[in-house]
Structure 1
């Protein structure tokens, strides 16, 4: 049987999962019963590298943060209020400490260059890239940007699903288009420009469509959405419309397909009973619209309700087997698994 390719995944929230569990970081190295990702399961599933998110829950609360209200044809989950800078910086520093701990273990590599990532794809270390999901810890004047860069920051999203000093985050709504919040602020435009100058990836995940198009206008780099799905299959506010997909392809960018149930299921419900055929349907839709060079993976392991047909990091081979059975060639699978991410990161980090 043809060997399945190594995977570079565009998004996980495993650092927060470890902090929430008050877990010793060694459980990531040794394996643990909870969560979606640790080193043993990464090896079992062929996960070679991933973007590890720093995500700060609203005001450092670790319980349920958002109340759902049903509508006539779906639901709305309103955004939490803006996060205080003090809370953002405190938790961000804690989570960078977790990142530093796990990348200090044998078998895990902190990645700041594409050569680092290629070594993980070709070898047996798990690569970890530091990403900010929502950039509240960064000062509006960018005075601490370089300090975070020096600590390994190579990718960031200007907002999660709440307003920040840089952009407005899109709320969870179903059914809904993504045009339901504001775009980049003046500080957000300066942040995108600094990222372009410094070689830091700008992630459009969680931006409303206005923010997406603002990034398109300001940035000279490929458009990237680390974890989302096709609005044409599931009309969730956080999924990408056809015109957004066209823009990603036109700039040479990439979309990482999420494994979040509510983004994949056509009914938008957060029910993990989702067959692999639905995941493949999203891949097909994205590939048909953009071409296979612009589609990758962005699992959202430990940050969403992962569909049970994949389960966790150890389940990645089931998806690639299904894609192969659906007619994707070995060359296509390599692109979806890691080559597209490597190409885009090489273009951005070398800028």
Structure 2
């Protein structure tokens, strides 16, 4: 079963680690790499361009949930430096034949059929974009087709949600006037807008602008009450607008025990999938793993283990048609609708 996934941080991992990104991606390192992708049927997804405050390798060995305030705002210049470096890494991986950068569904399908990883560039947090939106046009020309206005820190575009437990995403203000200009320009360029990490008010601001609601890597709040997860009302709106939500594999967002201990299981993934399907509808749910950006549940050490999740879906009673939609079909259908608007 081929998997097209809604969110990963492999480009940020490769940039943070330094060295030769082609060599790193070619060996068993991190959650996503060429041999693991081949073994697990990882066929592509939205590849995040993310700007960390400090350039260092990720470590999830002792990670668990905890009340964390919003990160400090980030200046445009260092954010742009890391984003452009990560675009360069994606281009080097493409030149080496390890993936194909895609800007439409036809390209994704061609890459998947040829056994090449299909990569769509996604901006996770728009700190690198100037108020005049000139950088947005430049990134679009380089292949950007998906954008989240914020990560979990404030920007000129709007507020993000802090990492917390017990409350929902109604933690701050929504989109600013500049944020609404950004979203409008994304619509003109054919860039889908992601609500993951946005406050609840920001989520409804995007809904009010008439856009299909997208949450690339967010889970159901009624299963795990973290600020990063979505209420049943939000999930219903995703389905009603023809949008999409991707199951986040991060242990701290899968279950309440996962939040407190940092450990979760594939059964927790299934409970989340049940809730997402009930809330948004089976045509509007996929996977949004957060590979290389979060701690994974037991039985999922890397994308090589995706067949274990598929097997768990089968044992859970999901039929072949539903599994195919969850693994890739719904994402491709959503992108075809959204990019064709």
Find the partner of 2:323 among 324, 330, 333. Answer: 333
Q: Are the aligned partners of 2:16 and 2:55 in contact in 1 as well (CA < 8 Å)? A: no
Find the partner of 2:236 among 236, 240, 246. Answer: 246
Q: Deviations over 1:155-210 (max 9, x none)?
A: 01000000011111100011111101211011110111111111101000000100
- Paired with 1:181 and 1:63, the residues of 2 have a C-alpha distance of 30
Shift of residue 302, structure 1, vs aligned partner: 0.5
Post-superposition, which runs of at least 4 consecutive aligned residues in structure 1 deviate over 4 A? none
Which residue does 2:189 correspond to in 1?
198
Q: Deviations over 1:204-241 (max 9, x none)?
A: 000010000001111x3321100011101000000000
Shift of residue 268, structure 1, vs aligned partner: 4.7
Please tell me whether residue 167 in structure 1 is matched to residue 161 in structure 2: no
- Paired with 2:246 and 2:237, the residues of 1 have a C-alpha distance of 15
For structure 1, list consecutive stretches of 5 or more residues without a partner in the other structure.
none
- Paired with 1:302 and 1:31, the residues of 2 have a C-alpha distance of 15
Q: Deviations over 1:219-274 (max 9, x none)?
A: x3321100011101000000000110010010011100010000002235264532
Which residue does 1:43 correspond to in 2?
38
- Paired with 1:21 and 1:270, the residues of 2 have a C-alpha distance of 28
The alignment partner of 2:118 has SS state of strand
- Paired with 2:229 and 2:23, the residues of 1 have a C-alpha distance of 33
- What pairs with 1:1-351 in structure 2 (closer than 5 Å)? 5-32=1-28, 34-58=29-53, 60-62=54-56, 75-218=66-209, 220-269=210-259, 271-351=261-341
Shift of residue 76, structure 1, vs aligned partner: 1.4
Q: Are the aligned partners of 1:28 and 1:102 in contact in 2 as well (CA < 8 Å)? A: no
The alignment partner of 2:152 has SS state of coil
The alignment partner of 1:228 has SS state of coil
Greater shift in the superposed pair: 277-286 or 117-126: 117-126
Greater shift in the superposed pair: 152-161 or 120-129: 120-129
Greater shift in the superposed pair: 74-83 or 140-149: 74-83
Q: Are the aligned partners of 1:270 and 1:305 in contact in 2 as well (CA < 8 Å)? A: no
Distance 1:144 1:208, change over 3 A: same
For structure 2, list consecutive stretches of 5 or more residues without a partner in the other structure.
none
TM-score, length of structure 1 as denominator length: 0.92
Q: Are the aligned partners of 1:254 and 1:344 in contact in 2 as well (CA < 8 Å)? A: yes
- Paired with 2:16 and 2:71, the residues of 1 have a C-alpha distance of 19
- Paired with 1:94 and 1:7, the residues of 2 have a C-alpha distance of 26
- Paired with 1:296 and 1:310, the residues of 2 have a C-alpha distance of 17
Q: Are the aligned partners of 1:141 and 1:187 in contact in 2 as well (CA < 8 Å)? A: no
Distance 1:171 1:89, change over 3 A: same
Greater shift in the superposed pair: 154-163 or 95-104: 95-104
Shift of residue 61, structure 1, vs aligned partner: 4.6
TM-score, length of structure 2 as denominator length: 0.95
Shift of residue 21, structure 1, vs aligned partner: 1.4
Shift of residue 23, structure 1, vs aligned partner: 3.0
